Structure 1
Amino acid sequence: MQFARRAILTLVAAAALIAGRGPSAAAAPELSVVATTGMIADAAREVGGDLVEVRALMGPGVDPHAYRQTRSDIVAASRADLVLWHGLYLEAQLEDFLLDLAARRPVVAVAEGLPRDVLIAHDDYADAKDPHVWMDPALWQQVVRRLRDALIEVHPEGEATFRANAERYIAELRELEGYAANVLASVPPDNRVLLTSHDAFNYFGAAYGFEVIGIQGISTESEAGLKRIAELVDLLVARDIGAVFVETSVSDRNIRALIEGAAAAGHAVEIGGELYSDAMGEPGTYEGTYIGMIDHNATTIARALGGTAPARGMADRLN
């Protein structure tokens, strides 16, 4: 562990020297921002506009709970004007690197400033909180404001732009919040059970009145055993649950085992759709934005569980 920590510090220091030999910040037309997750990167682009160039470390289908930094990540973060990460122990394998880097560069955990009373307790760690706050657009608006303030702090000349862009984006998030509430309210109360690969949807459930059941815990590092699968098969049968959901960033192995177990018990269960949990869709697509991600999830869940929602979602842009 000590060797790994020293190696990280050595790479950070080397990258800082490389950065010092590069073009001056004054010559660069944009603010260089590195974000850990796609959701944070998308918000940084929306708020930063033309003043920022944003690189996301984690792409589509990447699990942030297990992600470890690469050499190119270390160099990019060490040369950035600002590094944005989520916090709340989401990027568990990156924490040592990011905390070390914070002694040298502006590094901000954008979700750490949320009021503790709005956070849900973590299943696996007594003193930690569930990090998946982006599943509630109302909470994500608070994160966007924290991100805005971080941009202003490192680039005060852009304050007017950052504030204007943030207000526009937050207005769009409020529209998304209203759409999700409307279509999910159309799901019959008895059908409001959301069973997915891991507990990424607790904030979603709290916001929209759904019971959320994850096969794995909040972290995908926890494994679901045979006993857990058997218990959930019994639950599917007893409560006549007919649809479960896979996630783009988590293996569907356990979901398939549930469906097979239910079938063996004489109960048919289908996959209601694929949801975005810890990562967004492909870059350049609507689902590759935060708004598109949540639009997709709300629309897919509502339609699969007996509610009413337009096939192409809030903005008529879903694939």
Structure 2
Amino acid sequence: GDEHGDEHGDEHGDEHGDEHGDEHGDEHGHGSEDPHFWFDMNRMATAAEIIGADLAEDNGDVFAECGSKIADEIRSAEQDVRALLESVPADERILITDHDALGYLAEVYGYEVAGTVIPSGSTLAEPSSADLVELVEVIEDEGVQVIFANTADPTTLAEAVAAEAGNDVQVVTLFVGSLGGPDSGAEDYVSMMLTNAELISGALNAN
């Protein structure tokens, strides 16, 4: 009994744990799934409807109505976000970001994430000097003039990469993982997404 238990633990627990860590942890930081699903506004609208309907079962129809209302607001704002992001010419829709957080946005609106300062979804990982040299090359090759960072994280590394790349590369901070305070333009989800779309399209269209 004990022996088998230990064996089983070693075989599956440790090995699988390590394998999984190597396979997904290093690559993405958050596991194999990108957790930044809120950059897909239609997914968020559907979630609001599902949650509202779920709560309505025990608490009354007002929750379903509320979920539908929020979903409508999100879908309406998504049209504005789409118009802003699609105003960028297709060949300019190239994103360099501080970490891998804009995958959903890129997929929905036809952008390419060409490189990240931190080579994973985690903001805790440390890029090697070789990673940074490679990123500077990508920025130069693609003719990119903007690195998008996160208001919630230090921008020191992104600024160092921008300086190294030269050619007036700017660092623009987006609201990636949290809302902004009063008067930030990102006080709630819808305004956060609109502000991010304005910042992205404004920076890329200025090139």
Into which bin does the TM-score normalised by the smaller protein fall? 0.7 to 0.9
Over 3 Å counting, the alpha-carbon distance change for 1:284 and 1:168 in structure 2 is: farther
Q: Secondary structure at the match of 2:116?
A: strand
The answer on 1:301 being equivalent to 2:204 is no
Contact 1:192 1:211 in 2 (8 A): yes
CA-CA distance at 1:188 after TM superposition: 1.3
* Residue of structure 1 equivalent to 2:45: 141
Residue segments in structure 1 that go unaligned for 5+ positions in a row: 1-120, 308-319
Matches within 5 A, 1:196-275: 196-212=97-113, 213-216=115-118, 217-263=120-166, 267-271=167-171, 273-275=172-174
Q: 1:165 is matched with which residue: 66, 84, 89?
A: 66
Residue type at the aligned position of 1:174? R
Write out per-residue CA displacement over residues 237-275 of structure 1, whole angstroms, 9 at most, x where no aligned residue: 112111122211222121111112112xxx33122x320
Over 3 Å counting, the alpha-carbon distance change for 1:288 and 1:260 in structure 2 is: same
Contact 2:100 2:116 in 1 (8 A): yes
Contact 1:229 1:254 in 2 (8 A): no
CA distance in 2, matches of 1:228, 1:221: 15
* Residue of structure 2 equivalent to 1:131: 35
CA distance in 2, matches of 1:297, 1:262: 24
Over 3 Å counting, the alpha-carbon distance change for 1:125 and 1:199 in structure 2 is: closer
Residue type at the aligned position of 1:287? A
Residue type at the aligned position of 2:103? N
CA distance in 2, matches of 1:137, 1:185: 15
Q: Relative to total residues, which structure has the larger helix share, 1 or 2?
A: 2
CA distance in 1, matches of 2:127, 2:53: 40
Over 3 Å counting, the alpha-carbon distance change for 1:247 and 1:285 in structure 2 is: closer
Over 3 Å counting, the alpha-carbon distance change for 1:172 and 1:221 in structure 2 is: same
CA-CA distance at 1:129 after TM superposition: 0.9
Write out per-residue CA displacement over residues 271-296 of structure 1, whole angstroms, 9 at most, x where no aligned residue: 2x320101111157641200011000
CA-CA distance at 1:172 after TM superposition: 0.9
Q: Secondary structure at the match of 1:198?
A: coil
Over 3 Å counting, the alpha-carbon distance change for 1:186 and 1:262 in structure 2 is: same
* Residue of structure 2 equivalent to 1:290: 189
* Residue of structure 2 equivalent to 1:188: 89
TM-score of the superposed pair, with normalisation by structure 2:
0.78
Percent identity over paired residues:
27
Count residues in correspondence.
180
Q: Secondary structure at the match of 2:28?
A: coil
TM-score of the superposed pair, with normalisation by structure 1:
0.52
Q: Secondary structure at the match of 1:223?
A: coil
CA distance in 2, matches of 1:292, 1:126: 26
Over 3 Å counting, the alpha-carbon distance change for 1:178 and 1:228 in structure 2 is: same
